[in-house]
Amino acid sequence: MIIIVKKDNRREPFDYKKVASGIRKACEKRPIATDMVDELIDRIEQWVLSQGEKELASSKIGERIMDELHKLDEVAYVRFASVYRSFKDINEFMSELQDLLSKAKK
């Protein structure tokens, strides 16, 4: 069993359903095939299991999910990031969007 270490140092067992729910919410009403979302969820689960750690920081999982979503769909990425990063205000959110736009132009 893999234990996830939260930002506040709480520990809880890895919950595949929780990860899947967050990814599905980010992808909701986007033109993404269901099988692509399922494959992404499976990749995340396999990545977590392949780390070979008894404990894994939730931040590592969140960053990995954001990397995968960024490749799949930028809107889903922004949706997930807005919840995961808990932007303090609109300026932080706009900064993230500007970074995304500058990367897209390259």
The number of domains in the chain is 1
Give 73-91 pLDDT, tens digit per residue: 989 998 998 887 777 778 8
The reported pLDDT for the residue numbered 19 is 96
Q: Is the pLDDT of residue 68 over 80?
A: yes
Reported confidence tier of residue 52, pLDDT bands at 50, 70, 90:
very high
The reported pLDDT for the residue numbered 100 is 75
**Which phi-psi region, left, alpha or beta, contains residue 4 (left: φ > 0; alpha: ψ -120 to 50)?**
beta
**What DSSP string describes 11-43?**
EEE--HHHHHHHHHHHHTTSS--HHHHHHHHHH
Please state, rounded to an integer, the average pLDDT across all residues of the chain: 91
Q: Where is pLDDT greater, at 52 or 101? A: 52
Domain with 70, as residue range(s), is 3-105
